[in-house]
Amino acid sequence: MKFLTAATLFSLLATGLAAPVKREEEEPKYFGLVTIHSGSAFQYAGVYEVESHPHVFSVAGSEGEYVNLTMKADSSLTNANGRGVYVDPSTGEVGLVGEGQTPSTGFKIEENSLSYNDAEAFSACPSGENKWSLTFNSTCTGGTGVGLYVVSA
């Protein structure tokens, strides 16, 4: 009986039937962001990556491409090119990491709303004529508090 069992096992291994199943990695789920502030110019305004200033995302306006982000297991965000998102602790600017920076962790999505460190304290801050930058916990002059709503990419 032991010989038959060993022979059967050897036969299965030789034909590859007992080989472990290789699972394909799950594709990341990408999403975009729109701002929410009823009765303002920022109700459903897009959030953009702008090549000329990647360190801070733009809100509304017509420059750049819509952000296309995914949430990582460590609660950081990255764009479709694998570049992380950084929240500057001194200015509150939210954008792509710069040289030598580590992506910020602490992002969370609940009921399609994005938060950072358990707060939804984002703002659209004036950064030029008809231009606004996305910030977190900022006290910028003329800024408008906004929520960030996650939309499927």
What pLDDT tens digit does each residue of the chain (153 aa) get? 444 444 443 444 444 444 455 555 677 899 999 999 999 999 999 999 999 999 999 999 888 999 999 999 999 999 999 999 999 999 999 999 998 899 999 999 999 999 999 999 999 999 988 899 999 998 899 999 999 999 986
Structural domain contains residue 22: no
Q: Any idea what the CATH number is for the domain that residue 114 is in? A: 2.80.10
Structural domain contains residue 14: no
Whole-model pTM over 0.85: no
Structural domain contains residue 146: yes
Structural domain contains residue 96: yes
d(CA 91, CA 133): 11
In single-letter form, the type of residue at position 68 comes to N
Structural domain contains residue 117: yes
* Domain of 58, in residue numbers: 29-152
* Residue 49, beta-bridge partner list: 65
d(CA 42, CA 34): 8
| Total count of domains within the chain | 1
* DSSP element (H, E) containing 68: none
Token pair recorded at residue 72: 């990582």
Structural domain contains residue 90: yes
Structural domain contains residue 10: no
Structural domain contains residue 12: no
